[in-house]
């Protein structure tokens, strides 16, 4: 068993599991190996200590605690090795520890007795781990040097020999090798000379090497530097959060079908004891892992049951990210951009990520109704928002550092930026809503008032009436701003401190809700010819939402064309996983580009929440674009909703299954006049509202067809 989960030092957690199945009649031995090495992207430096409590049956008087009777020893075989950010890079000399020291028969009488921790003030109370244990699965169909490993083992490997191991997919996994070797044989595992080059020096005879950490991999090597060995058994074990894909997506476009499959698989790979940014470079929990991680979880995944309840749209990873982000809060009120690490650089704090955090708290609440958790996070939320409000200028705008996207021309500028101020407005509005929900009415009114004042200031001071959209920001030190633009290779013009309008400023203004109705068409017109620019992947997350908001089939089809063009290289690549960028180098297993799977479920198939979970309502609004048919199951908090859509020469046929206790609003394209609408073989009247037709559906199975007059 491996655990517990990663933690912030202000909030360590303990794991709890039933070990009955491991015990035998008579004497049993518990062996624990405690990590004692450098920090990584998932491990902070902290005071050394270990505690355990073994409960025997239901009797409180039958307990085994960690006390002075426990035997301990330093693990001498683990030697110094270079730092690697994503995983612990192991350098082991097996000769320095007894062969069977972790077995139940090992004689530990020469080991020292454990001593009590002296500085208890350096430890905070432990919280019970809420996440389930990660799922461990042996990987089958392993290939070595082009042939099935099962047909070759045992394999004798001599000095200079390389075993090239290929797995059937990309995995976050650890390895286990059963070896027979002469003492002193040096083996390199994973990369021959690369960053994750684990080194293992054998002892004499039969032995096992199992890596304690996991590594993102599809191909790796086992290279014998000197000596020789016999590889008797090779195991590779995937370890990840136990998300089960229960959603589905099928259409007449095989590329889109493959993308849904590979993007949802990518989410599984980067879901460990946290949503992580990538599996190959960092494995760090960043606040901007959501969106889009929970979007895809919410529409495609089921987590392990919780107290007998099916966990569709499992929100536990999101909850842990929100909690750990709160625990990262410093004395000045800021939360870190990433958790559970000692990384402090230019990305230690990222202002827009703090806004993502507040928005994420609302997303979690509306998915679960968990008011107790909102109360837990309320004080940290208020502290972060007050940090923003303390930085308002005489214009009423917040002056802080821009980022939002890696392609935002204003990235790293400390200014009164439209993008960041739009995000802060939304965070304030979300806090006002959450405060009211938990009875903090005074603070709710305060944040609501601050949100409206900020929206007014943005529209007063950052509106470019000549362009009909928003300046990207105001810089009071224009010379310094120009130097930063030059450093970032951004060709941005300025006039009296105002930076020219950009796509990013406009898209965030619309997405975060600061644009008055009277200005909305103007801003959308500014955006219209810019959808196709080579922005970073996450910019399309916001673009697609606004393109779908246009409610026309042409825009729906344009989105699918953009996905086909920009995401196809991932399918052509060996790993077939989601990328960080499509136009430059970056991680090839990254959270940023998984979101088309969400749009296929929520927009192409059309199933989306219609308000918080307690309303028990969904919208069913298919957007087929240029597809002839699309079908599948979309996961919701209420269970799976199966839909199928097929174009006809003059309309569309459909099948819908609405879960028990749930009501739905069916919305259909309103660009043409309806000639006939049938629902469960009955002619019905479907009303038009705006540019869509709509009708309410109760729970149950529905089939129907719509015919258009032209």
Give the domain-ending residue among 185, 206, 240. 240
Q: Is residue 559 part of a domain?
A: no
Examine the pLDDT at 640 and tell me if it is beyond 90.
Answer: yes
Q: Is residue 276 part of a domain?
A: no
Q: Are strands 617-620 and 112-113 parallel, antiparallel or unpaired?
A: unpaired
Q: Is residue 539 part of a domain?
A: no
Based on the fold, state whether residues 634 and 488 are members of the same structural domain.
no
Q: Is residue 301 part of a domain?
A: no
Which of 57-66, 94-103, 339-348, 493-502 shows the lowest per-residue confidence on average (mean pLDDT)?
A: 57-66
Q: Is residue 399 part of a domain?
A: yes
690 pLDDT tier (thresholds 50, 70, 90)? confident
The full 3-state SS of 618-668, as one line of letters, equals EEECCCCCCCCEEEEEEEECCEEEEEEEEEECCEEEEEEEECCCCEEEEEE
Residues 458-463: contacts with CB under 8 Å, at least 24 apart: 458/397, 458/418, 458/421, 458/422, 458/425, 458/509, 458/514, 459/514, 459/515, 459/516, 459/519, 460/395, 460/396, 461/395, 461/396, 461/397, 461/416, 462/397, 462/416, 462/418, 462/421, 462/498, 463/519
Which pLDDT does position 435 carry in this prediction?
99
Which pLDDT does position 43 carry in this prediction?
87
Distance of alpha carbon 575 from alpha carbon 191, whole angstroms = 17
Give residue-wise pLDDT tens across range 465-482: 999 999 999 999 999 999
Which pLDDT does position 147 carry in this prediction?
97
The domain spanning residue 645 has which CATH number?
A: 2.60.420.10
Number of C-beta neighbours around residue 510 at 10 A: 23
Give residue-wise pLDDT tens across range 426-464: 999 999 999 999 999 999 999 999 999 999 999 999 999
Distance of alpha carbon 278 from alpha carbon 451, whole angstroms = 34
Distance of alpha carbon 520 from alpha carbon 513, whole angstroms = 10
Give residue-wise pLDDT tens across range 142-195: 999 999 999 999 999 999 999 999 999 999 999 999 999 999 999 999 875 556
Which pLDDT does position 192 carry in this prediction?
56
How many Å separate Cα 487 from the centre of its chain?
A: 31
Examine the pLDDT at 681 and tell me if it is beyond 90.
Answer: yes
Give the domain-ending residue among 219, 240, 261. 240
Which pLDDT does position 298 carry in this prediction?
98
Please state the domain count of the chain.
3
Based on the fold, state whether residues 380 and 471 are members of the same structural domain.
yes
Which pLDDT does position 36 carry in this prediction?
66
For the chain, how many helices (H) and strands (E)? 13, 39
Examine the pLDDT at 576 and tell me if it is beyond 70.
Answer: yes
Which pLDDT does position 60 carry in this prediction?
62
Give residue-wise pLDDT tens across range 14-46: 999 889 898 988 888 888 888 766 678 888 888
Based on the fold, state whether residues 507 and 639 are members of the same structural domain.
no
Based on the fold, state whether residues 213 and 319 are members of the same structural domain.
no
The domain spanning residue 62 has which CATH number?
A: 2.60.120.260
Q: What percentage of the chain exceeds 70 in pLDDT?
A: 98
Mean pLDDT of 395-405: 94
Examine the pLDDT at 288 and tell me if it is beyond 80.
Answer: yes
Cβ–Cβ < 8 Å for 482, 425: no
The residues pairing with 694 across neighbouring beta strands, listed in sequence order, are 667, 687
Higher pLDDT, 288 or 656: 656
Mean pLDDT of 90-94: 94
Distance of alpha carbon 93 from alpha carbon 83, whole angstroms = 18
Sheet holding 687-689, edge to edge: 607-609, 617-620, 663-669, 692-697, 687-689
In 223-350, where does DSSP find H-type helix?
254-269, 293-300, 316-327
Which pLDDT does position 89 carry in this prediction?
87
Domain membership of residue 232 as a residue range: 13-240
Give the domain-ending residue among 479, 500, 530. 530
Looking at every residue in the chain, the average pLDDT score rounds to 94
Examine the pLDDT at 58 and tell me if it is beyond 70.
Answer: no
Give residue-wise pLDDT tens across range 643-658: 999 999 999 999 999 9
Distance of alpha carbon 12 from alpha carbon 47, whole angstroms = 12
Q: Is residue 306 part of a domain?
A: no
Based on the fold, state whether residues 520 and 619 are members of the same structural domain.
no
59 pLDDT tier (thresholds 50, 70, 90)? low
Cβ–Cβ < 8 Å for 6, 340: yes
The torsion angles phi and psi of 443, rounded to 5 degrees, stand at: -70, -35
Based on the fold, state whether residues 632 and 501 are members of the same structural domain.
no
Distance of alpha carbon 144 from alpha carbon 160, whole angstroms = 16
Mean pLDDT of 332-348: 93
The residues pairing with 417 across neighbouring beta strands, listed in sequence order, are 473
């Amino acid at each position: 068993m491996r655990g517990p989960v990663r933690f912030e030092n202000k909030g360590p957690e303990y794991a709890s599991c039933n070990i009955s199945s491991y015990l035998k009649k008579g004497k049993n031995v518990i062996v624990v190996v405690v990590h004692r090495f450098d920090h990584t992207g998932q491990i902070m430096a902290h005071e050394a200590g270990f505690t355990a409590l073994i409960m025997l049956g239901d009797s409180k008087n039958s307990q085994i605690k960690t006390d002075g009777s426990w035997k301990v020893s330093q693990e001498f075989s683990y030697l110094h090795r270079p730092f690697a950010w994503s995983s612990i890079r192991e350098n082991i000399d097996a000769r320095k520890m007894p062969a069977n020291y972790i077995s139940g028969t090992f004689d530990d009488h020469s080991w020292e007795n454990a001593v009590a921790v002296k500085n208890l003030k350096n430890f905070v109370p432990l919280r019970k781990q809420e996440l389930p244990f990660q799922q461990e699965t042996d990987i089958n169909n392993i290939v070595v040097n082009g042939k099935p490993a099962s047909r070759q083992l045992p394999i004798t490997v001599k000095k200079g020999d390389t075993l090239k191991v290929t797995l059937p997919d990309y995995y976050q996994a650890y390895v286990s090798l059963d070896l027979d070797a002469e003492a002193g044989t040096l083996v390199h595992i994973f990369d021959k000379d690369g960053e994750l080059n684990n080194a293992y020096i054998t002892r004499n005879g039969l032995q096992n090497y199992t890596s304690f950490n996991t590594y993102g991999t599809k191909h790796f090597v086992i290279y014998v530097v000197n000596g020789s060995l016999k590889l008797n058994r090779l195991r590779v074990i995937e370890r990840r959060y136990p998300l089960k894909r229960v959603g589905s997506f099928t259409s007449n476009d095989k590329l889109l079908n493959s993308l849904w499959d590979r993007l949802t698989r990518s989410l599984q790979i980067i879901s460990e004891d946290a949503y992580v940014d990538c599996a190959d470079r960092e494995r760090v929990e960043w606040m901007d892992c959501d969106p889009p991680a929970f979007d895809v979880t919410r529409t495609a995944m089921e987590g392990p049951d919780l107290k007998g309840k099916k966990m569709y749209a499992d929100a536990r990873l999101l909850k842990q990210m929100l909690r750990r982000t709160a625990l990262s809060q410093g004395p000045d009120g800021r939360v870190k951009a990433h958790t559970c690490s000692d990384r402090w650089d230019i990305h230690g704090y990222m202002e827009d990520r703090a806004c993502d955090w507040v928005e994420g708290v609302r997303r979690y609440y509306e998915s679960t109704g968990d008011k107790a958790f909102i109360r837990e996070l309320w004080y940290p939320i208020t502290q972060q928002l007050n940090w923003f409000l303390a930085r308002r200028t005489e214009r009423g705008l917040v002056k802080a550092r821009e980022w939002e996207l890696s392609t935002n021309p204003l990235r790293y500028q400390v200014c009164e930026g439209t993008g960041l101020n739009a995000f802060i407005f939304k965070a304030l509005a979300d806090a006002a809503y959450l405060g009211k929900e938990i009875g903090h009415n005074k603070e709710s009114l305060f944040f609501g008032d601050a949100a409206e004042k900020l929206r007014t200031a943005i529209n007063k001071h950052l509106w470019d009436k000549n362009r009909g959209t928003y300046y990207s920001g105001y810089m009071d030190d224009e010379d310094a701003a120009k130097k930063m633009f030059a450093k970032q290779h951004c060709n941005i013009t300025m006039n009296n401190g105002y930076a020219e309008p950009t796509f990013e400023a406009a898209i965030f203004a619309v997405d975060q809700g600061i644009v008055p109705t009277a200005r909305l068409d103007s801003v959308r017109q500014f955006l219209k010819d810019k959808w196709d620019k080579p922005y970073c992947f996450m910019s399309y997350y916001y673009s697609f939402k606004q393109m779908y908001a246009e409610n026309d089939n042409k825009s729906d089809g344009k989105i699918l064309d953009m996905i086909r063009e920009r995401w196809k290289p991932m399918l052509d690549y060996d790993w077939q996983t989601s990328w960080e960028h499509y136009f430059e180098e970056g991680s090839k297993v990254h959270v940023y580009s998984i979101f088309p799977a969400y749009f296929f479920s929520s927009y192409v198939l059309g199933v989306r929440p219609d308000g918080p979970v307690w309303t028990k309502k969904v919208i069913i609004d298919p957007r087929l674009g240029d597809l002839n048919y699309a079908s599948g199951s979309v996961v919701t908090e209420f269970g799976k909703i199966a839909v199928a859509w097929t174009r006809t020469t003059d309309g569309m046929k459909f099948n819908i299954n609405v879960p028990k206790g749930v009501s739905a609003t069916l919305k259909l394209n309103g660009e043409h006049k309806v000639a006939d609408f049938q629902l469960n073989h009955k002619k019905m009247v479907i009303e038009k509202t705006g540019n869509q037709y709509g009708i309410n559906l109760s729970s149950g199975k529905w089939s129907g067809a719509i015919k258009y007059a032209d």
